[in-house]
Structures are given as structure tokens and as C-alpha cells.
């Protein structure tokens, strides 16, 4: 299966680079999802029209076309290979929510429950940091290797409030957070900071190679909850698109909460990394 992983990653890197991040193998499971409706891998190859050089000459050469055809042939006849490819094409989401009752209740239990309902796509895997302290956060992050991090807590322009080992609410400074964001830029694509005044931290994380959603001021908790629902609903419904998905999810969420006239609706910012992740 290691050979398949290298094959998928190498081919996907070529497609992304050659097409300016427009074409991504994450689009393939969009067709795989239709298998339940009678579609199969022959339909995938037909729809991609890999035998027609006019279709892909703008971004894929003959060698890459053959590699993709061979990959599709392999997974069509090998269940383990199919499972491995699907695993490689799945986005993992890691949620950490932390309460600080004296700063206003977020209701993270309800928030996580709602998130589970929204994220119904088979190509999205939601995990949670059960004990929201820094040590548990790092351990879970290294275990899950998530493409998306969602941090829901109170914050200031200097840092975020998470629980310590004793369960006490403590402010952790931005300078400490940036260190382990830098270490994990290889696999994490987007960080959602659902925390007041998190713009400073968001800008630092973007420099480390992440797309970031953050808050440039204080924000009403109810508005933040609604924004988050719209953001992840878009991710769920378009989870197999290319790397612009996070920016599009933000734009859609902003359009909806602004139209609804929600309090502090202009507090959310999307920061796009200059690096290809």
C-alpha cells in the first residue's frame, strides 16, 4: 500500500502544480460517491475521458495519463487498494473546544454535536480532543494528522484560553502556538480559529503555510456558531473540490450571516497562505 500512497501523492502533486491547483485527485471520490447509484470505475474513466488528448493536454502528459488509468484499473479490482486510495483522499478534521465560563459560555458540547450532524460526507473524518489541554491537543494532532483544525475557545490578541492539566482556564500565548503550527505545516491545510481577537495568531499561522479563518475583534458567540455551521456545511457539500474550497466556504458563510444581519458579522477574516499546501 506504500506504493499506492506514493503513486497517488506524486500524481496529485503533478496535477495540482500543472493546473494551478485547479485539478485535484480529491475530485475522483465525487464520482465514487455515485457508485451507489449504479456508477462504476469504467464510468470514472469515461467521464475523465483519459483517452482524449484534447481533454488533458493543457495540464497532464501521456505518462501521467497512463499512471492515472492504471491507478483506476487497480482500485476497480482490488478492494484493499480502493480502501487505501479512499483513505488518502479523506480530509481529517480535528476539533478542540474549551470553555471559560467567566468569559461567557460557548456550549462546546452542543457545538460539537451540531458539527457531527453537518459533516456527513464519507470523505470527511471528524475527531475530537476530549481533554482540551495543550498536551492532549498536541498528542491528538500528531495522531490524527488533520487537514483541518477547528479551535473553539475564548481569545485575546495575545493568545487563546484553553484548560490546563488541572482543568483551569489559562491563556496560552500566540508565540507558543506558532511553534507547533510550524512543525505541522506538512499536512494541515486550514486552521479555523473561532476565538475573539485571533487575527494576530492567524497571521502568524498563515506564514507557516496554513489557510486560516480567524476573528479580528470580539464576536458574538451566537454569530460565531452560525458562521461555523455554514462554513463546515460548505466543506461537507463540496469536500472533494480543489484547494480553493476554504476560501469559497468563507465567502459563502459571510454572505449568509451578513444577509441575516447577525451581530458582529464582519468580524471574520480569511487569510490565504502563499504556500502550496
Domain boundaries, the chain: 2-87, 91-271
What pLDDT, on a 0 to 100 scale, did the predictor assign at position 151? 95
Whether 53 has a pLDDT exceeding 60, the answer reads no
Whether 33 has a pLDDT exceeding 50, the answer reads no
Whether the pTM exceeds 0.85: the reply is no
Packing angle, helices 174-183 and 134-144, rounded to 10? 20
For residue range 211-268, what is the model confidence (pLDDT) as tens digits?
999 999 988 888 999 999 999 999 998 766 666 889 999 999 999 999 999 988 889 9
Question: CA-to-CA distance for 178 and 212, rounded, in angstroms?
Answer: 13
**Of 59 and 155, more confident:** 155
Q: Tell how many helices (H) and how many strands (E) occur in the chain.
A: 12, 9
CB 123 within 8 A of CB 87: no
What pLDDT, on a 0 to 100 scale, did the predictor assign at position 103? 79
For residue range 112-157, what is the model confidence (pLDDT) as tens digits?
999 999 999 877 899 999 988 888 998 999 899 999 999 999 999 9
CB 248 within 8 A of CB 240: no
Percent of the chain, pLDDT > 90? 35
Whether 161 has a pLDDT exceeding 50, the answer reads yes
Question: CA-to-CA distance for 272 and 171, rounded, in angstroms?
Answer: 26
What pLDDT, on a 0 to 100 scale, did the predictor assign at position 43? 45
Asked whether the CA dihedral 190, 193, 199, 201 is positive or negative, the reply is negative
Which element (helix H / strand E) includes 162?
strand 159-163
Q: What CATH number belongs to 91-271?
A: 3.40.50.1460
What pLDDT, on a 0 to 100 scale, did the predictor assign at position 85? 73
Pairing of strands 159-163, 155-156: antiparallel
What pLDDT, on a 0 to 100 scale, did the predictor assign at position 139? 92
What pLDDT, on a 0 to 100 scale, did the predictor assign at position 42? 47
Question: CA-to-CA distance for 39 and 7, rounded, in angstroms?
Answer: 24
Of the candidates 88, 106, 89, 85, the residue with the CA atom closest to the CA atom of residue 97: 106
Of the candidates 31, 36, 29, 34, the residue with the CA atom closest to the CA atom of residue 8: 29
Side-chain-facing half-sphere of 107: CA atoms under 13 Å: 9
* Lowest-pLDDT range of 4-13, 17-26, 39-48: 39-48
* Residues contacting 142, CB < 8 A, separation 6+: 184
Question: CA-to-CA distance for 124 and 238, rounded, in angstroms?
Answer: 11
* Lowest-pLDDT range of 33-42, 55-64, 94-103: 33-42
- In angstroms, the Cα distances linking 20 to 7, 44, 58, 242 are 20, 23, 11, 10
Cell numbers standing for residue 149:
483544525
CB atoms within 10 A of CB 101: 9
What pLDDT, on a 0 to 100 scale, did the predictor assign at position 94? 96
Whether 166 has a pLDDT exceeding 60, the answer reads yes
CB atoms within 10 A of CB 47: 12
Amino acid at each position: 500500500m506504500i506504493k499506492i500512497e506514493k503513486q497517488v501523492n506524486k500524481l496529485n502533486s503533478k496535477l495540482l502544480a500543472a493546473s494551478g491547483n485547479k485539478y485535484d485527485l480529491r475530485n475522483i471520490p465525487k464520482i465514487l460517491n455515485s457508485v451507489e447509484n449504479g456508477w462504476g470505475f469504467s464510468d470514472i474513466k469515461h467521464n475523465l475521458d483519459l483517452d482524449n488528448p484534447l481533454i488533458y493536454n493543457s495540464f497532464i502528459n501521456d505518462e501521467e495519463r497512463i499512471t492515472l488509468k492504471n491507478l483506476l484499473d487497480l482500485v476497480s479490482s482490488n478492494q484493499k487498494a480502493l480502501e487505501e486510495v479512499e483513505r488518502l483522499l479523506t480530509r481529517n478534521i480535528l476539533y478542540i473546544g474549551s470553555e471559560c465560563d467567566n468569559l461567557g459560555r460557548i456550549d462546546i458540547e452542543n457545538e460539537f454535536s451540531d458539527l457531527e450532524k453537518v459533516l456527513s460526507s464519507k470523505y470527511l473524518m471528524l475527531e475530537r480532543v476530549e481533554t482540551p489541554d495543550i498536551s492532549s491537543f498536541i498528542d491528538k494532532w500528531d495522531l490524527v494528522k488533520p487537514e483541518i483544525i477547528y479551535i473553539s475557545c475564548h481569545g485575546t490578541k495575545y493568545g487563546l484560553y484553553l484548560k490546563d492539566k488541572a482543568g483551569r482556564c489559562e491563556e496560552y500565548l500566540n508565540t507558543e502556538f506558532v511553534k507547533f503550527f510550524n512543525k505541522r505545516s506538512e499536512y494541515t491545510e486550514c486552521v479555523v480559529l473561532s476565538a475573539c481577537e485571533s487575527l494576530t495568531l492567524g497571521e502568524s499561522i498563515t506564514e507557516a503555510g496554513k489557510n486560516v479563518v480567524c476573528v479580528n475583534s470580539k464576536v458574538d458567540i451566537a454569530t460565531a456558531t452560525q458562521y461555523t455551521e455554514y462554513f463546515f456545511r460548505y466543506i461537507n457539500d463540496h469536500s472533494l473540490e480543489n484547494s480553493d474550497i476554504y476560501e469559497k466556504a468563507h465567502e459563502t458563510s459571510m454572505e449568509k450571516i451578513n444577509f441575516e444581519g447577525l451581530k458582529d458579522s464582519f468580524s471574520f477574516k480569511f487569510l490565504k497562505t502563499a504556500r502550496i499546501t
